[in-house]
Amino acid sequence: GAGAPSPMSRQAAIPGVNAVIAVASGKGGVGKSTTAINLALGLRELGLRVGLLDADIYGPSVPKLIGTSARPELDDNRRMVPLAKFGLAVMSIGFLIDPDSPVVWRAPMVVSAITQMLRDVDWGELDVLVVDMPPGTGDAQLTLAQNVPLRGAVIVSTPQDLALIDARRGLAMFTKVEVPVLGIVENMSYFQCPHCGTRSDIFGHGGARDEAERLGVPFLGEIPLHMDIRATSDAGTPVMVSDPQGVHAMAYRAIAVQL
């Protein structure tokens, strides 16, 4: 397993950053990044100064979500300056690595890369930094959860049993390192037909709500599987930006206010 972090690095605050919130998932592909950026935008709407750190080393999707992968510039102290996009300060491991070469880093490298992005980036003054975590509950995630002074974690899950088992693991991990779980978001909760609006519970809707109740953590809300969410994300204009008055934006906003 991961070695014990040094007492110096453990939980050391990030200067200028008031709170760090992790968005995590037990496995990939459940919509963690999509949720992270839309929640970050929801928090910004509340008048907060918000940063978004895409720490998903295995598949950084924030460059695509914001439609840019420019290399960050360095400030006078040779710290990387986050990109300013949609009112967010954005940093992604995807700005630094070649998106076409698969990352096969070992856990300590993952942790050191993410720690650098937290600490060697000129975040400025932020009320909240949202961290899109790498999926899973391995060494890298555990060490990160230990090293970063997390205010809390949001767990994203689909309703499927398997995803929930993974989500449960995620929950156990944060509990182990005494990071409060702010709640569970059920993504792809049900399918909503973009043509007729009919709702179909293709993954068996409601699993996350039941599970949250069983585990005694807040259920933060549900986001449907909807074409618009995928299309806007792929277009580099998340639904909070492209359709701020729409139902999906409302749903994200309703989750953001609970954080």
Q: Which is nearer to ligand ADP, 25 or 147 (CB)?
A: 25
Is 138 one of the annotated binding-site residues?
Answer: no
Helix axes 227-234, 32-45, angle to 10 degrees: 80
Q: Which is nearer to ligand ADP, 55 or 182 (CB)?
A: 55
Asked if 221 is part of the footprint of ligand ADP (rule: CB under 6 A), the reply reads no
Asked if 226 is part of the footprint of ligand ADP (rule: CB under 6 A), the reply reads yes
Is 31 one of the annotated binding-site residues?
Answer: yes
Asked if 230 is part of the footprint of ligand ADP (rule: CB under 6 A), the reply reads yes
Instruction: Report the candidate in 169, 178, 259, 168 with the shortest Cα–Cα distance to residue 215.
Output: 168
Instruction: Report the candidate in 27, 18, 15, 86 with the shortest Cα–Cα distance to residue 59.
Output: 27
Is 148 one of the annotated binding-site residues?
Answer: no
Instruction: Report the candidate in 55, 59, 29 with the shortest Cα–Cα distance to residue 144.
Output: 55
SS3 letters across 150-199: EEEEEEEECCCHHHHHHHHHHHHHHHHCCCCEEEEEEEEEEEECCCCCCE
Structure token pair of residue 48: 């907060």
Q: State the minimum distance, in angstroms, from the CB of residue 77 to ligand ADP.
A: 31
Q: State the minimum distance, in angstroms, from the CB of residue 62 to ligand ADP.
A: 9
Restricting to residues 84-123, which ones interact with ligand ADP according to CB under 6 A?
Answer: none
Asked if 157 is part of the footprint of ligand ADP (rule: CB under 6 A), the reply reads no
Stretch that binds ligand ADP, among 83-91, 94-102, 103-111, 219-227 (CB under 6 A): 219-227
| Cα 108 to Cα 92: distance, rounded to the nearest angstrom | 18
CB 153 within 8 A of CB 179: yes
| Cα 45 to Cα 240: distance, rounded to the nearest angstrom | 10
| Cα 156 to Cα 251: distance, rounded to the nearest angstrom | 14
Asked if 154 is part of the footprint of ligand ADP (rule: CB under 6 A), the reply reads no
Asked if 61 is part of the footprint of ligand ADP (rule: CB under 6 A), the reply reads yes
Asked if 187 is part of the footprint of ligand ADP (rule: CB under 6 A), the reply reads yes
Is 28 one of the annotated binding-site residues?
Answer: yes
- Residue 64's alpha-carbon distances to 10, 26, 102, 166, 232, in angstroms, are 32, 22, 16, 26, 10
Q: State the minimum distance, in angstroms, from the CB of residue 204 to ligand ADP.
A: 16
Restricting to residues 15-44, which ones interact with ligand ADP according to CB under 6 A?
Answer: 25, 28-34
Stretch that binds ligand ADP, among 85-93, 96-104, 213-221, 223-231 (CB under 6 A): 223-231
Partnered with residue 230 across adjacent β-strands are: none
Structure token pair of residue 259: 């954080």
Asked if 62 is part of the footprint of ligand ADP (rule: CB under 6 A), the reply reads no
Instruction: For residue 114, give the amino acid letter.
Output: I
Q: Which is nearer to ligand ADP, 46 or 235 (CB)?
A: 235
Q: Which residue has the closest beta carbon to ligand ADP?
A: 31
Task: Indicate the annotated binding residues.
Answer: 26-33
Residues flagged as binding site for ATP: 26-33
Interaction site with ligand ADP (CB under 6 A): 25, 28-34, 59, 61, 135, 187-188, 223, 225-226, 229-230, 233-234
